[in-house]
Structure 1
Amino acid sequence: MISIIVPIKNAEKSLFKCLHSIKNQTFRHFEAILVNYGSIDKSGEICEKFASNDSRFHVIHLDSTNASRAKNIGLAYAQGEYVCFVNAVDWINAEMLEELINTNKIFQGDIVTCRYFEDSISELFLTPGPDENKIMSKNEAIQLCLSQPRVNSFLGNKLYKLELFSSSPAVHFDEDIEYYEDLLVAMQLFDKSQRIVYSPPPHYHYYLNRHLPLNVLQIKGKLDGLVAIERAVELLSKDPSVDTKILKDLYIKLNLSSIFTLLTLENVDSSFINDLRQKLHAYGLNELKDSDLKKCCQITRRNIGLGKIYWDMFYKKKLVE
């Protein structure tokens, strides 16, 4: 059986399509654990409707928490041999579970990952990747997972053995981290896996316009995403076969984006900007991969204003804010 965990908060506009895509899976032996946390719209009602019509759907209502806590609770309830995660604003192709399970019957992996679509109002973009089934090294899996600059979701297009989470050392979502918490968990699971299987057909639809923008500073007062990335780098640096440059790029990119956003806001404590600027020294320039990012970091260390100009002219075009 596969346990599908869906963390849900105020997703009424997309939730019906998301849950229908789960209900219509060609692989029928699953449980869908809907964790509705703090919603004030009709998300809870939609969840209850699906649960009342299909015994495979189970609803957990929480008054107030965050996505990390919601996913941990979902994992605690999961009974399947495998587990996957679907964002409430996304949806999956009907054959996703069946094809990933069948692929894993051949390759016997701890994780099976597939390509995915980036959906938006105006386009459907297929992310690049190899064209054949393969066993990936840990380093290949990490590089593929982090290679898409427009997507900040790292769990949805994968199927995991549930025991990866529960066996020692146990993996759980840090409930003090609300941004990039899924990246940290994905890296922990890659590090723990013995075999990671790649299947090229795309099945997951990541809806760009409905996900939170990169600028979380407008939502919360601290960047715990930097903590998540830093911890992932520390973990993976223990394995000399893993290239962590792309993770370090992500750390600096989030830092720079945050600094330049703070510059545009009113009544921002300048000490916060200075603290972030100091974090630009967390890694040496030779540890970064992207040449434009490296140059922007170097300039901003010296002069924030000039760094902002370089960011706007040469690097911001690479991002979808």
Structure 2
Amino acid sequence: MISILVPVYNVENYLSQCLDSILAQTYKDIEIVMVNDGSTDHSKYIASSYANRYSFIHLYNYENAGISTTRNRLLRHAQGEYVFFVDSDDYIAPQTLQAMMNHMEAYNCDIVCCGYTMDYRFGALYRKVETKKVMTKQQALHSLAENKGMNNYPWGKLYKKKCFSNVSFPEFMRGFEDTYTVFKALCNAGTIGCISKRYYHYVQHQGSLTHHMNLETAYDMRKAYEYQESCLRRWYPEEDFHFDVHLVNSDFVILYTIFAYYTKKDDPQFVPAVINWKKVNPFVHVAYELCRGICSLRFGWAKTKTQEFNKWL
């Protein structure tokens, strides 16, 4: 049985679509587990109406404690041998679970991942997918580190529940708790399968964390990748992991956040990540230095930073 784990918090406009997409699955050996994290809108009542209609839907209500605690509670309540996270403002294609279970059985996988699209109000963005059908965990971790299709999201992945046997989401984190957690489940897997089909729909709206960035949050993003890299280098010293693409992307977010939301009076500071530029596209390097130089000029940062930027012009 697959336990489909749905965290619920103030998603009254999205929850029905999410649950209907799960009920439409062609694979039927499922239970749906919802944890309501103290919603203050009508989410609790929508969830209750589904739980009252279907015996395989279970709802647990708690006071608000955050997404990490909620996901940990979902894992504790799950009764299936397999688990699949679906965020309650997202939805999945009808064939998702059947295709992923078929792949898991065909290749004897512990985790199977599918692709996803980012759904916006007026269109969709098709994200990069991993093209390999099956990987060792070391190959999957390199794909994750190098941003080649594997991602840090808990959703869009069918796990054998045992992959979370000694793994929990950090309840002290303000954000990016997924980056601190999902790679540990990958480490517990023997074989990871990938389906290039984009079955998962990641719905974008103003409630998302990425729409409420500040400088502290932007630096937290980079710290999460630095934590992941430090763990993998300790656990697999024979492997040569490169997180430079993630670190560059994090620095872009930091620079954009500074430029878009701060003034010179705020005196925002930029501390660059340690990046091996040989592992990064040179055009990206030029764009990075351009953004850094513009911010240096705007905010009056140290002259040495501006001089470093000028060398690229």
User: Quick check: 2:131–2:194 contact (8 Å CA) kept in 1?
Assistant: no
Match of 2:174 in 1: 178
Matches within 5 A, 1:72-91: 72-91=72-91
User: Quick check: 2:30–2:56 contact (8 Å CA) kept in 1?
Assistant: yes
Report the TM-score, using the length of structure 2 for normalisation.
Answer: 0.81
What do the CA deviations read for 1:247-304 (whole angstroms, capped 9, x no partner)?
322432333233334415x985x4xx33xx23x1x31353762545544655676773
Q: CA deviation at 1:41?
A: 0.7
DSSP-derived class of the 1:75 partner? helix
Match of 2:153 in 1: 154
CA distance in structure 2 between the partners assigned to 1:33 and 1:223 by the alignment: 33
What do the CA deviations read for 1:20-49 (whole angstroms, capped 9, x no partner)?
111221111112111111311100000000
Question: Structure 1's 288 and 63: CA in aligned 2 closer, same or farther, altered over 3 A?
Answer: farther
CA distance in structure 2 between the partners assigned to 1:103 and 1:35 by the alignment: 28
Match of 1:142 in 2: 144
CA distance in structure 2 between the partners assigned to 1:139 and 1:70 by the alignment: 26
Match of 2:32 in 1: 32
User: Quick check: 2:244–2:275 contact (8 Å CA) kept in 1?
Assistant: no
Match of 2:252 in 1: 253
The letter for the 2-side match of 1:38 is G
Match of 2:94 in 1: 94
The letter for the 2-side match of 1:251 is S
Percent of pairs with identical residues: 25
Question: Which consecutive unaligned segments of at least 5 residues does structure 2 have?
Answer: 300-313
Match of 2:107 in 1: 107
User: Quick check: 1:116–1:157 contact (8 Å CA) kept in 2?
Assistant: yes
1:190 to 163, 166, 186: 186
Match of 1:289 in 2: 280
Question: Which consecutive unaligned segments of at least 5 residues does structure 1 have?
Answer: 309-321
Q: CA deviation at 1:87?
A: 1.0
User: Quick check: 2:134–2:191 contact (8 Å CA) kept in 1?
Assistant: no
CA distance in structure 2 between the partners assigned to 1:217 and 1:76 by the alignment: 31
The letter for the 1-side match of 2:227 is R
Matches within 5 A, 1:214-253: 214-217=210-213, 223-238=219-234, 239=236, 240-253=239-252
Report the TM-score, using the length of structure 1 for normalisation.
Answer: 0.80
Match of 2:306 in 1: none
CA distance in structure 2 between the partners assigned to 1:163 and 1:116 by the alignment: 24
Question: Structure 1's 107 and 38: CA in aligned 2 closer, same or farther, altered over 3 A?
Answer: same
User: Quick check: 1:22–1:92 contact (8 Å CA) kept in 2?
Assistant: yes
CA distance in structure 1 between the partners assigned to 2:298 and 2:152 by the alignment: 27
DSSP-derived class of the 2:84 partner? strand
2:295 to 298, 304, 312: 304
Q: CA deviation at 1:118?
A: 2.2
Question: Structure 1's 213 and 39: CA in aligned 2 closer, same or farther, altered over 3 A?
Answer: same
Largest Rg, 1 or 2:
2
DSSP-derived class of the 1:182 partner? coil
CA distance in structure 2 between the partners assigned to 1:221 and 1:114 by the alignment: 28
User: Quick check: 2:48–2:59 contact (8 Å CA) kept in 1?
Assistant: yes
User: Quick check: 1:177–1:225 contact (8 Å CA) kept in 2?
Assistant: no
User: Quick check: 2:36–2:60 contact (8 Å CA) kept in 1?
Assistant: yes
The letter for the 2-side match of 1:252 is D
CA distance in structure 2 between the partners assigned to 1:190 and 1:135 by the alignment: 11
Question: Structure 1's 59 and 307: CA in aligned 2 closer, same or farther, altered over 3 A?
Answer: farther
